[in-house]
Structure 1
Amino acid sequence: MRSSITYSPCLTRSFLNPKSLCSQPQFPNIAPISEPPSSDNPNPNAYCPQEIDSESNFPTKPTTKSEVSISAFFLEPKHADVAAEISQNSVLTQAHVINILLSHKSEPRSALKYFKGVEKKRGFVKSVDSFFVLLHILGGFPPTHKAAQNLLNQWVSGDSCPAPGVLVDHLAECSKRFAFGLNPRLFNYLLNSYVRANRIKDAMLCFDRMIESDITPWVPYMNILLTALVRRNLFNEVREVHNKMVLKGISGDCYTVHVMMRAGLKEGEAEKAAEYFIDAKATGVELDAAAYSIAIQAACVRPDWSLASGLLKEMREMGFVPSEGTYTSVIGACVKQGNIVEALRLKDEMLSCGKPMNLVVATSLMKGYCVQGDLNSALDLFNKIGEFGLSPNKVTYSILIEWCCNNGNMEKANELYTQMKDKGIQPSVFNVNSLIRGFLKSRSLENASQLFDEAIKCGIANVITYNNLLSWFCEEGKVNEAQSVWEKMIRNTVVPNVVSHNNMILGHCREGNMDVANSVFLEMVEKGLKPNVITYSVLMNGYFRKGDTERAFDLFDQMVGANIAPTDFTLNTIINGLCKVGRTSEARDRLKNFVDGGFVPICLTYNSIIHGFVKEGAINSALAVYREMHESGVSPNVVTYTSLIDGFCKSNNIDHALKMRNEMKNKGLELDVIGYSTLIDAFCKRRDMESARELFSELSEVGLAPNTVVYNIMISGFRNLNNMEAALDLHKKMINENVPCDLQTYTTLIDGLLKEGRKCT
């Protein structure tokens, strides 16, 4: 319950000199001044602001006019009575001052001059009552509204003053006690003064007490408060103020919508920003171009190109002209979501509206082309941007260099890189890393190494730069070279990360050196690096390849115990590993358990099991898995059919093998060299060299080159039929086509010639 606080020690102080607040002694309450009664609830419309300036328009000090010297003021004949009132009272009581102020109730400027005069009088103690009476007088007349604002601004910006809730209560009490009527203008001025003084917490307290007292905050001042809260990232407070406004029946205006949408965007909640826009439209708020622009920005952040494009269209239909920045954002959103067609349409629309092409749009479109796989169009646009008076920047070059590398066009990538440097644009480590990856992918180790050395010399090489080389060397089985890169990284004080260790573990696993791979793993843990699912999966695969399934499963249990969820790669590694060591039935059982746990098998998964059963001679089990594969909706690939053909051939069931081959052709799949070699070998073993020769010829006709294995099978087949002329012809063809002969080639030929009693020449 609120108490009367007419003259508490906190409220009796100097207001025009804030430094002396709370320095005056307590004075007794005075009797109410006798005034004609007035309504306790005056028409609030009488106090609606005619013009409310923005926060920056409020002066922090009283105007020069209000600082006219008191002596000059007294010389004016029309103020002689005020001068007399002051001079005749050597001791001025609060009651007397308030009575005099009230006598000038209809003359606000005279009341202000009187107050300024008496506060300089020796022995006069200022109080909240007299100050608030003056504020009510000034607030009742438009010409002195600014003076009331200035007084409150000056007072609130002082070192100390009563709590906001106390002031709101006392200001309301004074309005009733002295029959002014409740003037919401003064409360809104007070609220704004707190914001101007950067006293946001007090502004919130003032706002809350106004709401509790049923004093309606005005929308412009609410917007100023909301803006101040957004600037300080006080998003919970922003929503709190806005919700209280809505509950109070204050819907806000278009600028309120601006502020709330910007708050949502700044908070990273684009959905909330969109909701404010939708709600504003539903409640009939008249939205302007800026509101649409912010809503479009929110749609682009999500991103939702369809919504953004729709709002842009709606904006134009309402007669608004979207800005260049708005078009740029929507085009960027379209590109991000892969709709290059809409992005190009909007680019044309932007240009037709008289907006110039800008580099951000051009660069976005280049990226869009690249993502769509149309590098040539991206490069064409790059060559044309000069027509718009644009010059490519680092981002433009970076995108094109990266995508040229991704597409294997290293000549163009290097050309752009050189052009970039020639224009004085310093390449980033991102550019260098893209080029190194590209050169390695195109197997140009020399260029990659040269760029790698340049990056180290320039001091821009980072851990990713080193990892590019480590990964390539380890994938290629060149562990010694990878070790050299590792040592160079340590010398140059670049700290290896988890990826670096994973690469080295992979390299040692590929070599079958599991002891060293495990040492790298332990070293990694000792350094405080946390192994990830790739670390465990690579190690498990290494142990499976060595036949050490027990150690592989120990690692799996260790991984799960560390709360690292296995990926599809991990589960496929387990299935493939079991199949490689002859435990295919167990692999199939585990697959069922994995599927029950949510794992979705892919073609690779089924191929591992089919191949495992074929190796074990269990062709019927392999066929069962093949049928299961179909039932699961997974399409077989070349590897699937090759394994089954191999299985049927090994079980001497050539008819089923050919049936599989026909099924494969009907699905648009072609045999690879391994598939052809399997069928050719089957016909050779059946001594059907005519069919074998047909397949051998077909192999070349479809664009495949027979390898050493295929030639050896054919040579062996003819040798078995004692047709050494045909065998020797194949040998000559091998030499002419630069197919290397191995020990088996020569052993077969020598054996055949010796059996015929011919000399080997």
Structure 2
Amino acid sequence: MSSSLTPKRIPPPNLLRRLINPKPFCSQSRSSRAPDYPARDSNSTGKPLHESASPKRPVNSTLSDSVPYPSTSKYGGDIMNEARVIDALLGHRSDPRSALRYYNWVEPWGGFDQDGDVLWVLVHILLGCRETFAPARDLIIRYLSNYSIPKPSVAVNRIVYCAEKFGFELNSRAFNYLLNGYIRARRVDDAVDCLNLMLERKAIPFVTYMNSLFSALLRRNSMDEARELYHKMVTLGVTGDNFTTQLFMRASLREGKPEEAAEIFGDAKSRGVEPDGLMYSLAIQAACKKPDLSMAFGLLREMREKMNVPSQETYTSVITASVTEGNLEEALRLKDEMVSCGIPMNVIAATSLIKGHCKNDDLVSALDLFREMKEKGPSPNKVTFSVLIEWCCRKENMEKALELYEEMKLVSIPPSCFHVHSMIRGYLKAQTPEKALTIFDESVESGVANTFICNSILSWLCKQGKINEAINLVRMMESKGIEPNAVSYNNMILAHCKVKDMEKARIIFSKMLEKGLKPNNVTYSILIDGYSKNGDIQNAFDVLHEMDSSSVTPNEVVFSSFIDGVCKAGKTSDARDALQKFISELNFGPSCRTYNSIIDGFVKEGNLDSALATYREMCDNGVFPTAVTYTSLINGCFKSSKMDLALKMTKEMEDRGIKRDIPVYGALIDGFCKMRDMEKASALFSELLELGLCPSVTVYNSLISGYRDVGNIDAGLDLYKKMMNDGIHCHLPTYTTLIDGCLKERKLDIALDLYSKMIEEGIKPDFIMYTALVSGLCKNGQLVNAQEILEEMEKKGKIPNVNIYNALIAEHRSEGNLNKAFALHDEMLDKGVTPDGHTYDVLIGRKAGGGVDSHNNL
């Protein structure tokens, strides 16, 4: 069917006479636009012309029987007079369809859409009848698409002007159709201006057009502009429909403003809007993202009570949010509810639940759900495998991780860099680097390896001191087009700093600059720490100044690295002087950590007075001490045999509201143990347990050493049993102390059992342990066993120290075996072990039968 707007073929003159007023104007100017319009006849707003008996002649015009069609052909130079066309249209005011037919006939010669009032007169006529609303709308759409689009202010003023001039009632549809035309022409800014002009005139916009405009604004991310328009409309009482609310809720969620989306939903409900399913779903999404699980659960219940079952997407949102917030129990309940409603679980919900089980340290349930997915659906995706592989690696279950890794490849999911990194990190954590390197090599061959993956291997190589391998890896990266980044170079610099090769560390730093990589605070802190620990204070200072000149502002970590490194190099006074310089010249505000390094440095150097002076300075500068501060000071007090001062510091700590933690208790217990006051040490240990604190291995070691020193190794063995029962693994120092104590108290069998257990646990003896064993066995007359220990050391390539030789020489001397004693002396010299005064005292018999108090060396 042809459109009513399509220009018709020119009808014959006799037909035209029946369509238009038989007595039109004929004396008007033939210009394209008359300066003024003649008065209309009285019938122009009344009945159809054919019902009028004798229409009145317009003012200042003459009647003519001529027909008002173009005086020349379409290809001639003249066109029809606009005033005559308007008069003809007004003559058909009560017959909009006739007016439209006339307009379609005359428009090709007049060009009346471009300028003037012809179009708008016709629009007003068409809007006078419901049946011709659509042609009016289409006229405006064609007008705004075919011609140079006028500004909204011009078009709106023309509509108003025509209505006032020709006596039409102003219909808001004219404005709405104009608004629709701008939207259809994709002139969004003009549409916004049009809507603003409408609102100024209190013209109510149609909700459909309003939503179309809001959609266009939101598509171009003009949320603020859309929001402003909406608020203007609300003041006129136009609030839109559910689709309007959904538009703004979606936009708020897209902008990451779930609170705003929830507020929009709440405002709509307060206005009496009955939310539909989509509104509820969006509101639940907003609640989940806030997050406000209580609100999400309430909305879900309300949605179920008022309408059909929530969608799979809605349930998934709440399940995922519940898992994220650590409420796995509720997530599982929602999953069961969803399935009972006939909604299958999707892969997103299933993967979220698997992650929830993993976060709850329940890898078994996670794997059970994974098996259920494979059997019943949905099929696991890349994210599902990622979660399980990551958590298997975290739990060092590398066998299962590898199984999942291979299974993923079998179902045509290629491993990503994330999976590779998880596997490498897991194998390195499980102390199986060869398998990590295998995975790495595969990733390089497949092209998956990136800088992130390479850095994980590079970091491990550097920590292991495998500098040559690390250098080769960097070369391989460059050959494969994998550019090393700042992290890569930082690792290389750190590796050279650890082996105290600062020259090469500096060369790597220079290469980093050549590559155009900008050093950061981490880079500079590594260099500063390296120079400081090497006692090279000047170069450390130079790096600080270089850092300042390169526009990298030193942070607290950099300054603290410098201070800590100098302190660990045994130059705490220099560190304190440097701190004053940082404060005065670089406006550095030291933290508690910085002061703690200096205090601990002075304590380790035995300079308690300077440590206390630094503590007072710290307090005077408004830096509050922590438990770490007091732990160092308490250790220093005991080290200086100032028990009263240690207790005073403990009280001061408690007065500041700082509770005793394990390190503080450890410092107090160790202090009393060293003072051989086991009663107070034991009381503190009981207090620690009553508070529900878990003693560390260090605390146990202090107590066991204390009991050994007072000759009560049985109490030490009881503590050892408690450690085992509590699942606390003993370290080498624990076994060394226990074995030394047992040998001193002639508990040879227990000592040897402990040594065997230690070896079974994979703990390797060091020189202190060997010294305790040899010395103890010799004193117990176990010269053969002691000699076996010596042979064991030699097999492991360990050269016995002077104390071990002294113990063996003393025992052979006491048994009268001088030849063996002197042979051991010669063996010492051959192996480069220098005898001390005790060696010669034993050999010449001044201290025959003597030995070494091994615990003095523990």
Matched, 1:129 2:187: no
Give the aligned CA root-mean-square deviation in angstroms.
4.0
Corresponding residue of 2:808: 750
CA distance in 2, matches of 1:730, 1:636: 49
Q: Give the superposition deviation at 1:180.
A: 1.3
3-state SS, counterpart of residue 152 of structure 1: helix
3-state SS, counterpart of residue 443 of structure 2: helix
Matched, 1:459 2:444: no
Deviations 1:495-527 (A, max 9, x none): 222322333343334334445445545554564
CA distance in 2, matches of 1:511, 1:183: 88
Given that 2:398 and 2:426 are in contact with CA atoms closer than 8 Å, whether structure 1 keeps it comes out as yes
Given that 1:92 and 1:123 are in contact with CA atoms closer than 8 Å, whether structure 2 keeps it comes out as no
CA distance in 2, matches of 1:604, 1:108: 92
Partner residue of 2:671 out of 619, 625, 647: 647
The equivalences for 1:113-124 within 5 A come to: 113-121=101-109
Given that 2:34 and 2:83 are in contact with CA atoms closer than 8 Å, whether structure 1 keeps it comes out as no
CA distance in 1, matches of 2:723, 2:31: 108
Instruction: Using the TM superposition, name which of 602-611 and 94-103 deviates more.
Output: 602-611
- C-alpha change, 1:508 and 1:701, in structure 2 (3 Å) is same
- C-alpha change, 1:291 and 1:679, in structure 2 (3 Å) is closer
Deviations 1:205-258 (A, max 9, x none): 211222233322222211111111111212222122112212333222222111
Corresponding residue of 2:370: 382
The equivalences for 1:262-341 within 5 A come to: 262-341=250-329
- C-alpha change, 1:339 and 1:628, in structure 2 (3 Å) is farther
Instruction: Using the TM superposition, name which of 576-585 and 265-274 deviates more.
Output: 576-585
Partner residue of 1:493 out of 459, 468, 481: 481
Q: Give the superposition deviation at 1:492.
A: 3.0
Partner residue of 2:356 out of 360, 363, 368: 368
Corresponding residue of 1:242: 230
3-state SS, counterpart of residue 707 of structure 1: helix
Given that 1:35 and 1:178 are in contact with CA atoms closer than 8 Å, whether structure 2 keeps it comes out as no
Given that 2:144 and 2:181 are in contact with CA atoms closer than 8 Å, whether structure 1 keeps it comes out as yes
Higher relative contact order (CA 8 A, sep 6+): 1
Q: Give the superposition deviation at 1:544.
A: 5.1
Matched, 1:726 2:780: yes
Partner residue of 1:224 out of 200, 205, 212: 212
- C-alpha change, 1:462 and 1:291, in structure 2 (3 Å) is same
Identical-residue share of aligned pairs (%):
40
Q: Give the superposition deviation at 1:309.
A: 2.2
Given that 1:711 and 1:730 are in contact with CA atoms closer than 8 Å, whether structure 2 keeps it comes out as no
Q: Give the superposition deviation at 1:306.
A: 2.7
CA distance in 2, matches of 1:502, 1:121: 80
Q: Give the superposition deviation at 1:89.
A: 6.6
CA distance in 2, matches of 1:645, 1:197: 84
Aligned-partner residue type, residue 566 of structure 1: E
Corresponding residue of 2:34: 28
Deviations 1:523-578 (A, max 9, x none): 54564544444445545554554456676677678879844543698657634542
3-state SS, counterpart of residue 37 of structure 2: coil
CA distance in 2, matches of 1:730, 1:191: 107
Q: Give the superposition deviation at 1:150.
A: 1.2
- C-alpha change, 1:548 and 1:176, in structure 2 (3 Å) is same
- C-alpha change, 1:124 and 1:132, in structure 2 (3 Å) is closer
Unmatched 5+ stretches in structure 1: 1-14, 18-23, 40-82
Given that 1:258 and 1:294 are in contact with CA atoms closer than 8 Å, whether structure 2 keeps it comes out as yes
Deviations 1:98-120 (A, max 9, x none): 12211211211111101111224
Deviations 1:247-283 (A, max 9, x none): 3332222221111112212223222222211211222
Deviations 1:604-655 (A, max 9, x none): 5554554455556665555444445545555545544443333334445555
- C-alpha change, 1:318 and 1:245, in structure 2 (3 Å) is same
Q: Give the superposition deviation at 1:481.
A: 3.8
CA distance in 2, matches of 1:623, 1:36: 113
3-state SS, counterpart of residue 780 of structure 2: helix
Given that 1:722 and 1:752 are in contact with CA atoms closer than 8 Å, whether structure 2 keeps it comes out as no
Given that 2:121 and 2:162 are in contact with CA atoms closer than 8 Å, whether structure 1 keeps it comes out as yes
- C-alpha change, 1:418 and 1:733, in structure 2 (3 Å) is farther
Given that 2:33 and 2:83 are in contact with CA atoms closer than 8 Å, whether structure 1 keeps it comes out as no
Corresponding residue of 2:839: none
Q: Give the superposition deviation at 1:726.
A: 3.3
CA distance in 2, matches of 1:188, 1:408: 67
CA distance in 1, matches of 2:308, 2:435: 54
Matched, 1:566 2:556: yes
Aligned-partner residue type, residue 119 of structure 1: E
- C-alpha change, 1:479 and 1:412, in structure 2 (3 Å) is same
Corresponding residue of 1:440: 428
Aligned-partner residue type, residue 580 of structure 1: G
Deviations 1:152-197 (A, max 9, x none): 1111112413211100011011112111111001110110111111
Partner residue of 1:699 out of 701, 710, 720: 720
Corresponding residue of 1:80: none
Instruction: Using the TM superposition, name which of 446-455 and 612-621 deviates more.
Output: 612-621
Given that 1:397 and 1:420 are in contact with CA atoms closer than 8 Å, whether structure 2 keeps it comes out as yes
Given that 1:112 and 1:134 are in contact with CA atoms closer than 8 Å, whether structure 2 keeps it comes out as yes
CA distance in 1, matches of 2:409, 2:472: 30
CA distance in 2, matches of 1:623, 1:308: 54
The equivalences for 1:60-209 within 5 A come to: 85-86=67-68, 92-121=80-109, 127-209=115-197
CA distance in 2, matches of 1:615, 1:29: 111
Deviations 1:415-462 (A, max 9, x none): 000001111111101100000000000000110011111111111111
- C-alpha change, 1:157 and 1:730, in structure 2 (3 Å) is farther
Aligned-partner residue type, residue 212 of structure 2: I
Aligned-partner residue type, residue 359 of structure 1: V
